[in-house]
């Protein structure tokens, strides 16, 4: 009988995947900055290439530093295996290209990240993989959009930037009935706050650039899921297209994960206070944040997530022009398009992250021209609120 005590999320983030090097005793994960690995014999090399023996061959196919990161992500997401990539979009493209073929159909949530939307269009135009977007807030809407050729249901929750939620247990239930694979972009929540595989989903993707790295100094992506599927992706679309992660970047993410818990707790605490401040502000028309009781899906957020995160969106009563004036007068908050950083970042989706999407499609997604997205950092919350109060006086 296994009597080992189940570890908490922060303990897992710090310790999973690595035990100090028995030869050197190094506490920190070593950076194996090597392109290739030496075989003790020709026979050993042949066995490794044939898959008969575990071991490293070439860093595009696997690297010890990267392996530690992959095992940490798998442990945090409660998955069998993980993969690391050079960017979030490298992860998205590798997973989708491994899961579908010409003639297949992908059903995605409305409001997809702009580059994911661009990838789906490229796959449709070049490879005849069709897609459609669906409001996944109710079962009937999902079932209506399914086709016999639907192979993947691709979910973002919360959806960027409207923060609309998708019921993961519901989507997983429907997908299993029709034999589709559920892929979830979990970037906004991190595995600390939401674990889709526990909800019945199949594969989880992150832009690790965001909360997993947390410090705005690395571009990376990760995926986690069943070992058989991860092995297929590793040996096909990852190996052959080559969007692999460098060992030093893996080291930065491993270091970032060690503070994931304390950072996410602070993001949640600050995000809640900023959302409540904006909700009460006379110049703000609406705030989209799952932690507000006024949020339409507040009950789902409480069931599905372990915290409400640091991302929110809001619209000013003065519309787009007021939003531009407000954004141009922030000081502490930085005008930048990323998220999940220790710094507070503010951006305008219609002209930045979602500008590739036609205006009529953006409107259908709930992304108005006046919508502003704020990634609340871990600064002292009083300073964030002071900065927003000052900037809002110009709106």
When pLDDT is cut at 50, 70 and 90, the band that residue 4 belongs to is: low
CA dist., res. 21 & res. 227, Å (int): 26
Q: What confidence tens digit (pLDDT) does each residue in 227-275 have?
A: 999 999 999 999 999 999 999 999 999 999 999 999 999 999 999 999 9
pLDDT reported for residue 1: 40
**Helix count (H) and strand count (E) of the chain?**
16, 12
pLDDT digits (tens, 9 = 90+) for 137-178: 899 999 999 999 999 999 999 998 899 999 999 999 999 999
Instruction: Give catalytic status of residue 9 as yes or no.
Output: no
Per the residue annotation, which of 113, 117, 131, 154 is the catalytic one?
113
Mean pLDDT of 351-363: 78
Token code pair at residue 111:
């409001």
Mean pLDDT of the chain: 94
Clarify whether 192 is annotated catalytic: no
Rounded-to-integer distance, Cα 303 and Cα 2, Å = 29
Asked whether the predicted pLDDT for residue 2 surpasses 70, the reply is no
Structure tokens at 116: 């994911």
The SS3 of residue 348 is coil
- Is the peptide bond prior to 155 cis by the omega test (within 30 degrees of 0)? no
Confidence of residue 5 (pLDDT cuts 50, 70, 90): low
Q: What is the mean pLDDT of residues 364-389?
A: 92
Q: Determine if the pTM surpasses 0.85.
A: yes
d(CA 188, CA 166): 13
Catalytic residue among 47, 56, 58, 60: 60
21 is catalytic: no
Token output for 389: 């109060």
Domains (ranges, CATH) in the chain? 9-257 (3.40.640.10), 260-392 (3.90.1150.10)
Catalytic residue among 130, 185, 202, 249: 185
DSSP, res 373: E
**60 belongs to the catalytic site:** yes
Exactly one of 110, 151, 210, 362 is catalytic; name it. Answer: 210
């Amino acid at each position: 009988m296994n009597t080992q005590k189940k570890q908490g999320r922060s303990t897992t983030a710090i310790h999973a995947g690595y035990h100090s090097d028995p030869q050197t005793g190094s506490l920190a994960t070593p950076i194996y900055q090597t392109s290739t690995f030496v075989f003790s014999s020709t026979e050993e090399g042949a066995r490794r290439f044939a898959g008969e023996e575990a071991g490293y061959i070439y860093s595009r196919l696997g690297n010890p530093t990267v392996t530690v990161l992959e095992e940490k992500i798998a442990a945090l997401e409660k998955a069998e295996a993980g993969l690391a990539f050079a960017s979030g979009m490298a992860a998205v493209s590798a997973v989708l290209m491994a899961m579908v073929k010409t003639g297949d159909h992908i059903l995605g949530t409305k409001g997809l990240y702009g580059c994911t939307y661009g990838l789906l269009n490229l796959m449709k135009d070049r490879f005849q993989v069709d897609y459609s977007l669906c409001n996944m807030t109710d079962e009937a809407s999902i079932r209506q959009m399914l086709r016999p050729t639907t192979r993947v249901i691709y979910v973002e929750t919360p959806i960027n930037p409207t923060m609309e939620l998708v019921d993961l247990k519901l989507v997983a239930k429907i997908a299993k009935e029709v034999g589709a694979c559920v892929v979830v972009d979990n970037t906004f929540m991190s595995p600390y706050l939401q674990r889709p595989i526990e909800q019945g989903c199949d594969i989880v993707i992150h832009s690790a650039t965001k909360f997993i790295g947390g410090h705005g100094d690395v571009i990376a992506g990760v995926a986690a899921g069943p070992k058989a599927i991860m092995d297929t992706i590793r040996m096909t679309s990852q190996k052959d297209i080559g969007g692999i992660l460098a060992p030093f970047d893996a080291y930065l993410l491993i270091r970032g994960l060690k503070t994931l818990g304390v950072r996410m707790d602070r993001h949640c605490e600050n995000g809640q206070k900023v959302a409540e401040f904006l909700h009460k502000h006379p110049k703000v028309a609406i705030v989209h944040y799952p932690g507000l009781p006024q949020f339409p899906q507040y009950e789902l957020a409480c069931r599905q997530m372990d915290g409400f995160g640091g991302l929110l969106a809001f619209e000013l009563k003065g519309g787009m022009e007021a939003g531009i004036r407000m954004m141009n007068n922030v000081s502490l908050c930085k005008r930048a398009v990323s998220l999940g950083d220790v710094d507070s970042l503010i951006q305008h989706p219609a002209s930045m992250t979602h500008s590739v999407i036609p205006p009529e499609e953006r409107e259908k997604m709930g992304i108005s021209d006046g919508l502003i997205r704020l990634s609340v950092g871990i600064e002292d919350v009083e300073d964030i609120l002071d900065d927003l109060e000052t900037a809002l006086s110009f709106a």
